[in-house]
Amino acid sequence: MRHVIYPGTFDPITNGHLDIIERATTLFDTVTIGVTTNPTKNPLFTVEERVAMIREVTRHFNNIRVESFTGLLVDYAQRLGASAIIRGLRAISDFEYEFQMALVNRKISDGIVTVFLMPHEKYTYLNSTIVKELATFGGDVSRFVPPAVEALIKQKIVKKALGG
């Protein structure tokens, strides 16, 4: 069975992420979306909220699991019995960092392969930070995220503005 992990913070999940997920579901038998934290980022949503959000927008796929994890990605992949890690590449600027991480992961566990997927070109500029910034300033994010995610972003932005 071909099992892959697509790790990330997904804060929030975007149409670009979903494009990668959809492609991964055609290449692998099981796709685990591994939601994690990044200490250098200031998340809008909790890990639990992100997991629930992703489950909602991917429920139409029959070969996806969504869960959170902590620690080293390769350790997580080994625990799950995954043979590969999916990483999305939007631009050349992503490649250098992702290439370095893939090499480090290979040194730690040579049984785990990193597969790079490019999103559709209409999503190459898109990332979660842009979506959050746009929403914070009242911009329309409907073209960048699924409707359910847009609604959650609006609720969260309003709640933060009210001090909650």
* Residues in the chain with pLDDT values less than 70: 162, 164
Q: Is 87 within the bounds of a domain? A: yes
Rounded to whole angstroms, the Cα distance separating 31 from 23 reads: 10
In the prediction, which pLDDT does 164 show? 63
Q: Is 159 within the bounds of a domain? A: no
User: 30 by DSSP, 3-state: which?
Assistant: strand
Burial class (CB in 10 A: 0-12, 13-18, 19+), 78: middle
**Tally of domains within the chain:** 1
Assigned token pair, 145: 């995220």
Residues involved in catalysis? 17, 41, 90, 128
Look up the CATH number of the domain holding residue 29. Answer: 3.40.50.620
Q: Which residues span the domain enclosing 94?
A: 3-124
- Residue 89's identity, in one-letter code, is L
Q: Is 31 within the bounds of a domain? A: yes
